[in-house]
């Protein structure tokens, strides 16, 4: 059985790690290079480094920061934010990244996923999906605009999951499950799935969203958004069917170490690398 991965996430703004709630109210969480080194030493399986305002600010990613981080870690490093072209892939890979995460650019130009996969290999291409619940009343379920949506029944009613771009600032009208299937066809190697509803709340991952994507694509799915304790990580694997779990606050603010989370999972029968 494949081991499940624990992945610290570094959201970067102005060269510092930040953490917010539902993509808003960002607060400082430390230096990205120092934190990367700590998580590597704690036994993290990978690190994800996201320049969260690069696309919205229409600027390039902070290459020097990628280089300095890559020098300090000896585990796979995924980098995203502001990636717009195959040339961006090339520059970031040369700076020391192992995988590149694309969100906004992939939605605007899906062929970028195919191009990058053809040139660098699918294992390099991570498509990030930021999704939010879009509720539909029971009487509207049969309406034409909802016919092609993957609708689930939740504790709060019926909903589908809408893809957002520009760091959660713009709704696209795209169904997240359909988009996940599309990027799989285009050659993506992995999906980084963030629930905007759960992000930063510490109330747990959106298990319905995670399960919907995991069960409708063969790609590995990284669950992201809402982790507040080790039990939430267990639920993402056991009920959400995720292949990896991304987390930020509980690690940045020293509530848990990576090793503590892995030991908790191992005791409950989840295969992890110790």
CA 74, CA 149: separation in Å to the nearest integer? Answer: 41
Instruction: Classify residue 114 as exposed, middle or buried by CB count within 10 Å of its CB (0-12, 13-18, 19+).
Output: middle
Distance between terminal CA atoms of the chain? 15
Q: What is the 8-class DSSP label of residue 85? A: S
DSSP class of residue 40? H
- Give the C-alpha distances (Å, rounded to integers) separating 162 from 60, 95, 181: 26, 33, 14
Spell out the alpha helix ranges (H) of 15-110: 32-42, 63-72, 86-94, 104-108
130 among known catalytic residues: yes
SS (H, E, C) 108-145: HCCHHHHHHHHHHCHHHEEEEEEEEEEEECHHHCCCHH
Q: Which listed residue (88, 130, 175, 243) is catalytic?
A: 130
Residues noted as catalytic = 11, 130
């Amino acid at each position: 059985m494949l081991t499940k991965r624990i992945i610290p996430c570094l959201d970067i703004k102005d060269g510092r790690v930040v953490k917010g709630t539902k993509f808003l109210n960002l607060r400082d969480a430390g230096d990205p290079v120092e934190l990367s080194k700590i998580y590597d030493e704690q036994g993290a399986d990978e690190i994800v480094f996201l320049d969260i305002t690069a696309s919205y600010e229409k600027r390039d990613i902070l290459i020097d920061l990628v280089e300095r981080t890559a020098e300090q870690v000896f585990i796979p490093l995924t980098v995203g934010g502001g990636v717009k072209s195959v040339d961006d892939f090339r520059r970031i890979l040369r700076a020391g990244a192992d995988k590149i995460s694309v969100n906004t650019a992939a939605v605007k130009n899906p062929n970028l996923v195919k191009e990058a996969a053809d040139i660098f290999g699918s294992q390099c291409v991570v498509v990030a999906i930021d999704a939010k619940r879009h509720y539909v009343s029971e009487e509207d379920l049969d309406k034409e605009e909802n016919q092609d949506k993957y609708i689930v029944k939740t504790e709060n009613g019926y909903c589908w999951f809408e893809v957002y771009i520009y760091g959660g600032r713009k709704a696209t009208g795209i169904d997240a499950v359909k988009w996940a299937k599309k990027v799989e066809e285009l050659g993506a190697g992995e999906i980084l799935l963030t629930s905007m509803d759960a992000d930063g709340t510490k109330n747990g991952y959106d298990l319905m969203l995670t399960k919907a994507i995991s069960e409708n694509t063969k790609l590995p799915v990284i669950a992201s958004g809402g982790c507040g304790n080790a039990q939430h990580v267990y639920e993402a694997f056991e009920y959400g069917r995720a292949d990896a779990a991304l987390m930020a606050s509980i690690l940045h603010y020293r509530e848990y170490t990576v090793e503590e989370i892995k030991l908790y999972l191992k005791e409950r029968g989840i295969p992890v690398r110790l």
